Structure 1
Amino acid sequence: MKAMQLNAYGADSVFEAAEIETPALKAGHVLVKIAASSVNTVDTMIRNMGEELPLSPATPAILGMDFAGTVEAVGAGVTDYAVGDEVYGCAGGLADLPGTLAEYIVADSQLIAHKAKNLSMREAAALPLVGITAYEGLQRAQIAAGQKVLVHGGSGGVGHIAIQLANHWGAEVYSTGGGDAQTALIEQLGATAINYKTETVADYVAKHTDGAGFDLVFDSVGGANLLNSFEAAALNGQIATTVTLCELDLSAAHFKGLSLHVVFMLIPMLHNHKRDQHGAILRALTEIAEAGALKPVLDATKFTLEQAGEAHARLESGKAMGKVVIEN
């Protein structure tokens, strides 16, 4: 099969076209012909940092985690999928799991689900990593109907899904963005937009919560922005975040009695730990999408498999609006 490989890591690394053996089918797995895959920030981190990240695969490496495609063969013990099924998932591109920048992937059947009928292959490929992350974070933070929910970074990959899911579960959703295009997308997705460049945390907490704070804060920006989340949260509020590779003063969280939920969705893939939970979340996302409540936003720029390097550059440029997708 055709694949785009990395033979070395680093800022100057390049993807090179290669003809390699189609992966062998294994028990509990399915062979999927990939129609599309999406690029996530973690993919660019692996390409740039290589061995500095403990989750990077050995070179020559096939990166890419998200995909959508069609089942071509079913391994022993798999009962939920048949040849010809359209599926999607996040199942490779790290550690010892070959990725999606190729014609085929052998995916653990616990890490996939049937694709929503009303989503294209490109849209479905954009959903797994960010969808699982947003779903897990909101559920662990005990989202409930009627809550006031703040999403930091609502125009980003994870954030724009979190807005839609929070709306689906009946919350009153607000979201921060840093420009006209970002706030316009946030409003389009059904949240009240907050421009963090022109409004202070104290300003928008007073304006939207009468100073009480938000019941739940989903922080897809993380790092130092967590301090803004602590400030924005209500007493005994819930905070979910995807970025905590930092040192912070937790005093504000202490005095408010906040609960902090750290989401690292790669754990099931890395450690073969409760992988069936990812399949269950993906099935739920399919149902929500088919109900018309969830639709990934795609960047307007299109890329072929051979343009994997350009797709990475597009994401790293910060100019993409929506998920960057590669089509086979």
Structure 2
Amino acid sequence: MRAMIVNTFGGPDVFEATEIDKPQIKAGHVLVKIEATSVNTVDTMIREMGPELPLSPSAPALLGMDFAGVVEEVGENVTEYSVGDEVYGCAGGLADLPGTLAEYIVADANLIALKPKNLSMREAAAIPLVGITAYEGLKRAGIKQGQNVLVHGGSGGVGHIALQLAKYFGANVYSTGGGEAQLALIEKLGAIPVNYKLESVENYVEKHTQGTGFDIVYDSVGGKNMTNSFEAAALNGHVVSTVSMVELDLSTAHFKGLSLHVVFMLIPMLHNYRRNEHAKILHALTSIIEAGELHPVLDESSFSLSEIGQAHARLGSGKAMGKVVVTV
């Protein structure tokens, strides 16, 4: 089968077109013909850093995590899926799990779900990693109807899903962005936009919460922005982080009594730990999507499998909004 392989880790141009063996079905798995995949920040990190990241596969590496496609073969002990089913999931591209930058994947049935009927293959491929991440974070923070929720980076991959889910769960949703296009998208998705370049944390906390702070702050930006999240959170509030590989002073979090929830959704894949939780979340997301309450935003760019390097460059440019999708 056709595949785009990384033999040497580095820049976006390292991908090489290669013919590799089609994977063989095994128990508990399904063979899926991949129609589309999407690029996530963790994909670009693995491609660039390689062995420096403990979750990276060794070269030659088949990267790519998200996919949508059609089941062609069903392994033993799999009863939920049949040949011809349209499915989506996040099931490879790290450690010893071959990825999705190829025509086929053998995916653990506990890491997939039936594709939402009202999404195209490209749209469905944009959902799994960011959808699971957003859902898990909000649920761990105990989201409730009527709460004030702030999503940092609401025009990005995780952010644009998190703000829609927060709205679906009945929260009053606010989201930061730094440009006219980003703020317009945030508003279109149903959140109140906050221009972090023009408004200080103190100002928008006072403006939107009368100074009490947000019940939940979902931080998909990370780095030094974590201190902004602590500052924006209410007393005994919750901060959800997807990018917490940073050293910082936790004094503000301490004196506010904050709960910090670090979401690392790759744990089930890396450690074969509670993988069925991902299937459950994807099933829930399918229901929410089919009810018309959630829709992925695809970046205006369009790439084929052979253009995966350009897709990585697009995401790395910081100009993409929503998800960068690759048609296989």
Q: When the two structures are superposed, what TM-score results if normalisation uses the length of structure 1?
A: 0.99
Distance 2:8 2:282 in 1: 33
- Once the two structures are TM-superposed, the CA of residue 11 in structure 1 deviates from its matched residue by 2.7
Distance 1:198 1:26 in 2: 55
**Correspondence for 1:155:** 155
State the secondary structure of the residue aligned to 1:223: coil
Letter aligned with residue 87 of structure 2: V
Aligned residues with identical type, % of pairs: 73
Please give the residue correspondences for 1:12-51 in structure 2 after superposition, counting only pairs within 5 Å. 13-51=13-51
- Once the two structures are TM-superposed, the CA of residue 13 in structure 1 deviates from its matched residue by 4.9
Distance 1:53 1:222 in 2: 18
**Correspondence for 1:280:** 280
Change in 2 beyond 3 A, CA 1:87/1:143: same
Please give the residue correspondences for 1:111-260 in structure 2 after superposition, counting only pairs within 5 Å. 111-260=111-260
State the secondary structure of the residue aligned to 2:185: helix
Contact 2:37 2:125 in 1 (8 A): yes
- Once the two structures are TM-superposed, the CA of residue 58 in structure 1 deviates from its matched residue by 1.2
Letter aligned with residue 162 of structure 2: A
Distance 1:249 1:61 in 2: 37
Letter aligned with residue 111 of structure 1: L
State the secondary structure of the residue aligned to 1:248: coil
Letter aligned with residue 55 of structure 1: L
Distance 1:158 1:300 in 2: 17
Structure 1 residues 282-306: Cα deviation after superposition (integer angstroms, max 9, x where no partner): 0000000000011000011110111
**Correspondence for 1:55:** 55
- Once the two structures are TM-superposed, the CA of residue 87 in structure 1 deviates from its matched residue by 0.1
Contact 2:298 2:321 in 1 (8 A): yes
- Once the two structures are TM-superposed, the CA of residue 44 in structure 1 deviates from its matched residue by 0.5
Contact 1:37 1:325 in 2 (8 A): yes
**How well do the aligned residues superpose, as a CA RMSD in angstroms?**
0.7
Distance 1:314 1:276 in 2: 32
Number of aligned residue pairs: 328
Distance 1:276 1:205 in 2: 38
- Once the two structures are TM-superposed, the CA of residue 12 in structure 1 deviates from its matched residue by 6.4
Distance 2:167 2:37 in 1: 26
Contact 1:13 1:48 in 2 (8 A): no
Distance 2:25 2:327 in 1: 23
Pairing 1:299–2:287 present: no
Letter aligned with residue 170 of structure 1: G
Contact 1:237 1:259 in 2 (8 A): yes
Contact 1:13 1:47 in 2 (8 A): no
Contact 2:62 2:93 in 1 (8 A): yes
Distance 1:84 1:11 in 2: 37
